Amino acid sequence: MRLLLGTYQAKIIFLLAIFPASLSYTLWCSEIVENLAAMAAKFERSSPDLYKFPEVGWEIVDPKFFQRYEIALKGAYNPQTDIPWEFVRPEQYNEEELVAVRYYWSRLALAEYILVLADSKALQVAIVQGYPTEIKQAVVMHLRDEWAHTNMTSEYSRRLGGIILTPTVLEKHKKFFDERLADLEVRLHPTFMRFSFGELTENIAWFGPMRSVKDLVSSAIYNHIYVDEMRHGRTNWEWSTKGVGIGIGKVTEEDRNKAAALIPYGEKARRGWLIFGYLDLPPEEQEFHIACFRLAKELGHTAFDAPQFLKAYDEQAKEYEKLLGELGIHAQED
């Protein structure tokens, strides 16, 4: 019993001894907290709007966007391992043939790369402006796919000897990209409506038929592009023409009108210099383009020569112009 009393007495003496120090520590902590609160208020007042994070939108207004890309993730491919690169044999071609196929794949790679850069900006805009979750997800997946396309097409050109592009093609693509960036700074909808029209048309007109070309590497690349672009076109079309139900995802009449102005511009560019276009190139570059595409077709890298590319696109575009007309959007050129 005396031992227990002695223990309790010792504890009481210890607590009495440390109480003043404990009280001082508590008061000090309280002062620090008050100081931190004052400092935080000061910092918040001085923080520029640029660094204020956008509102998080957790809601999913349109589940089909997510469902489509969940399927895409399950069927994802690796450009490094899922293309039969072992069949690339530059030695089977003469010098002119190598130039032709290198140029052909370089043109497609450049077009894909411009989309990568535009999608990168679109993703930033979607995040900063607080677009719905499924729109951000759609742009992320679009970016991933276009980067895979860029990897495949540019790698094929490199394995054949290297990238070949003419000066005017590079200059016009740079100007086009700068203009698209300016569009994306304002709203995503008009640019994506233009993407939806172009991608649907290109995919049906070009990449569908080209899946059966005789060159095995080319065929494998087109198969992957076709599946991806069909998904992009459908998603962009649904978003652009109907909109995601509410809020910032809704397509306005102003957006539709701006898209109507953008689509003819894109169609003219496709004939003139964009992707496989050539009609607005200088005579020497036109001659080079036509000769390269003719050889690329003969060698089984594509299903079309230069004029046939434009004809196939124009024929398919008429079908989608009818659909746009039903929506009150006129895509045909004046």
- The band of 334, judged by pLDDT with boundaries at 50, 70 and 90, is very low
**Mean pLDDT throughout 299-307?**
96
Tokens describing residue 77 = 């491919």
DSSP conformation letters of 39-107: HHHHHHHH--GGGSPPPP----S-HHHHHHHHHHHHT---TTTSS-GGG--GGGS-HHHHHHHHHHHHH
d(CA 234, CA 83): 25
Q: Quick one: which H or E segment has residue 276?
A: none
More confident residue, 248 or 242: 242
- The band of 244, judged by pLDDT with boundaries at 50, 70 and 90, is very low
Q: At what angle do helices 253-272 and 189-202 cross, to 10 degrees?
A: 40
- Count CB-CB contacts under 10 A for residue 94: 9
Fold of the CATH domain 58-326: Ribonucleotide Reductase, subunit A (1.10.620)
d(CA 110, CA 170): 8
pLDDT over 90 at 174, yes or no: no
- Residue 104, CA distances (Å) to 211, 277, 309 in order: 16, 12, 12
pLDDT over 50 at 330, yes or no: no
Average pLDDT of the chain?
77
The label of the residue with tokens 């999913």 reads: 60
Residue range 119-152, pLDDT digits in tens: 888 888 888 777 777 778 888 888 889 999 999 9
d(CA 133, CA 199): 23
User: Would you kindly state where each structural domain of the chain is located, as residue ranges?
Assistant: 2-49, 58-326
Angle, alpha carbons 296-300-305 (nearest 5°): 45
pLDDT over 60 at 203, yes or no: yes
d(CA 77, CA 88): 19
What is the reported pTM?
0.77
Cβ proximity of 171 and 110 under 8 Å: no
